[in-house]
Structure 1
């Protein structure tokens, strides 16, 4: 009898484990797709919902421009002008038509690159940041390392096929997730179309259309970036949001350009069917009190930058989520409201999955008895 009880217990345990693990390709309800590699992640945590050959190194094609785009937003003045070099102007598949020697504002060039997938625009942006394509590839690889993109190596800023230029679905999902945290990037890639202007030496316009055919056709679509070359096949990174759940799908090497869109719809549908969001901690209840030195008050409150909700994948248990506060015990005035001071770390089953900034209230510098006492006894406070 004991043997059968143990056997049943093991069986139940295996079943419970299966419920809590992300589904991989080949399981009974896995989406039927043409892509050689693919992944679905939940955006707020980056947790994997489903994957297929997600660590296979493949050509990423123009999904590469996500890296060029986010670096441009982080490093360049969007209102400055870029003069188109001969190398940039004569790069293949440069549909905007900015000629060598012409000047165009950085934000216009960036929009043209991300919507129309202009290869020359990517070269021009890379040159503006690092002086040359080769030097900029080094910047890209440095950022890739920062984002823990372990199976990625960039050679150019646009994704044209070159030896040594590769990535994986998993790494591209990390990049897409990071880029979509940038408000300006998110606003660009969700545009169905935009008129690109440049005025030097003559006024010109180009009507750019987003190459992402799912925009305005798939409910909740938020972007992100297409890719296609003969060697890479169809590549696509897309995001969508419904009922508080936001997903990112990356797929690589579909047989035809249209297959990437039909595959993405299947993967997004699958993801939304297998994830639900539950309430975690609100901004109002997630505050922490900290002491203040050199201020007009002795203490202040830090608040989460946003409400924290928990994605449950394949029927997971909310109780496996936990949080910890990584905030200082003492802060120094002045502090401007909204200044990040520490963070909340969200974990699932003991693994860190999300960081949320803790933001300060407005704290003016000055003098108060309480703040003076905090400074006097700061050594003791830190020991508590």
Structure 2
């Protein structure tokens, strides 16, 4: 009976010409999730995006921003006693007191193995140089103030940092929307893009040799190195188009991930908060697959393309003119949007006044370069894109002389007609 019902449903759908729309992915309600496409500026998926979360080591995104903004990559910092502030089970880059590292090298130690020691060394080093703070505590506090100031500067006003690494503090928090702003800021730096997609990085100095592996599973084809021996073999979550960015994990924050991807012309940034070790990688892949399956860039308008005709009552030498766009319009659209979106042409009321349906009078002369209105695309009552529109020809308002000339022509034609008619009668 159940099979028959399903079959009848499918037949009905085929006959009606409808398609079953793909269901959005579903996640546990405590998750914080945001999926953003950079080029279009569209949020493709969101859950709890305005709620407060503990960011764990995704905090280091802001740590990196402040270091990049205030230091040169070649600047050298000597590792000091600040590294003793972290516990033995903390994620670390295994820095050694006394070794000298460049800011660039410390950024690798910060972002790949998620080194809390590297976070402290960068904070103390930047605080020494920029804040002229000689004491370790004062320098680190100065750096944290810089982090909070930078957050406010970029609009991340629902964020507060109390340390440079992300270990738990009740008053150390952010939102997904704020973390998106920080991630976009970080990705303005080419070197940051390079660092966060690097799977491993090695360096040697007189005191120690380092080899750091990126904690982001999505970047690794095999699990042997990144899992520290806990897992081996092929990584089912490896995703070639993923380009970083940062993991995080504390008991209070859960498993956190900020990632980016270039897939099918989509430049994606994803944020997952309060997930679990077992689920987060599959959830990230699910979000990427959702974007790929349900969204694509669609060209709606060709440059120079005609979108309609404008009928005119008072234009000189013309009563109808093509309306065109000068730039192509390409939008990232969901499948449902592509099928059901609406378009509307709105003319500038300072230039054109509607007298009847699609018929207008000119309120002023219009040149080829002048925007006369816009074509607006919408879905479900919300705008999804627009483009400026132009007249294909220069348009001039008929003057009084034009009307007088027109009247004179009519009178002349009438007189010619009467003369001809009179001549015919006299024959």
**TM-score tier (shorter):** 0.5 to 0.7
Counting only pairs closer than 5 Å after superposition, residues 86-235 of structure 1 correspond to structure 2 as 86-92=81-87, 93-131=90-128, 132-197=139-204, 199=205, 202-216=206-220, 217-235=238-256
SS at match of 1:258: coil
The structure-2 alpha-carbon separation of the partners of 1:64 and 1:278, relative to structure 1 and needing over 3 Å to count, comes to same
Deviations 1:62-86 (A, max 9, x none): 0011111122222211112111121
Of 332, 339, 355 in structure 2, the residue corresponding to residue 311 of structure 1 is 332
Distance 2:334 2:239 in 1: 22
1:266 aligns with 2:278: no
Residue 26 of structure 2 corresponds to 32
- Higher RCO structure (Cα 8 Å, ≥6 apart): 1
Deviations 1:104-148 (A, max 9, x none): 122111101100000010111112222422211111111111221
The structure-2 alpha-carbon separation of the partners of 1:55 and 1:275, relative to structure 1 and needing over 3 Å to count, comes to same
Higher mean C-alpha deviation, range 85-94 or range 105-114: 85-94
The structure-2 alpha-carbon separation of the partners of 1:115 and 1:279, relative to structure 1 and needing over 3 Å to count, comes to farther
Contact 2:35 2:46 in 1 (8 A): yes
Contact 1:46 1:174 in 2 (8 A): no
Contact 1:89 1:99 in 2 (8 A): no
The structure-2 alpha-carbon separation of the partners of 1:308 and 1:218, relative to structure 1 and needing over 3 Å to count, comes to farther
Counting only pairs closer than 5 Å after superposition, residues 8-87 of structure 1 correspond to structure 2 as 29-34=23-28, 36-87=31-82
Contact 1:147 1:175 in 2 (8 A): yes
SS at match of 2:279: helix
Distance 2:294 2:127 in 1: 43
Distance 1:96 1:174 in 2: 27
Q: Which runs of 5+ in 2 are unaligned?
A: 1-20, 129-138, 221-237, 303-327, 345-375, 386-427
Instruction: After TM superposition, give the deviation of residue 52 of structure 1 in Å.
Output: 0.7
Contact 1:59 1:232 in 2 (8 A): yes
Q: CA RMSD in A?
A: 3.1
Contact 1:112 1:196 in 2 (8 A): no
Distance 1:138 1:218 in 2: 37
1:252 aligns with 2:273: yes
Higher mean C-alpha deviation, range 136-145 or range 268-277: 268-277
The structure-2 alpha-carbon separation of the partners of 1:309 and 1:194, relative to structure 1 and needing over 3 Å to count, comes to farther
Instruction: After TM superposition, give the deviation of residue 222 of structure 1 in Å.
Output: 0.8
Distance 1:169 1:237 in 2: 10
Residue 359 of structure 1 corresponds to none
Distance 1:140 1:207 in 2: 28
The structure-2 alpha-carbon separation of the partners of 1:312 and 1:226, relative to structure 1 and needing over 3 Å to count, comes to same
Q: Which runs of 5+ in 1 are unaligned?
A: 1-26, 283-306, 322-346, 354-384
Residue 404 of structure 2 corresponds to none
Contact 1:83 1:101 in 2 (8 A): yes
Instruction: After TM superposition, give the deviation of residue 186 of structure 1 in Å.
Output: 0.5
Deviations 1:314-367 (A, max 9, x none): 54469989xxxxxxxxxxxxxxxxxxxxxxxxx9979999xxxxxxxxxxxxxx
Distance 2:300 2:195 in 1: 30
Instruction: After TM superposition, give the deviation of residue 166 of structure 1 in Å.
Output: 0.1
- Equivalent residues, number: 276
Q: Which structure has the bigger radius of gyration?
A: 2
The structure-2 alpha-carbon separation of the partners of 1:96 and 1:265, relative to structure 1 and needing over 3 Å to count, comes to same
SS at match of 1:162: coil
Contact 2:76 2:101 in 1 (8 A): yes
Contact 1:212 1:225 in 2 (8 A): yes
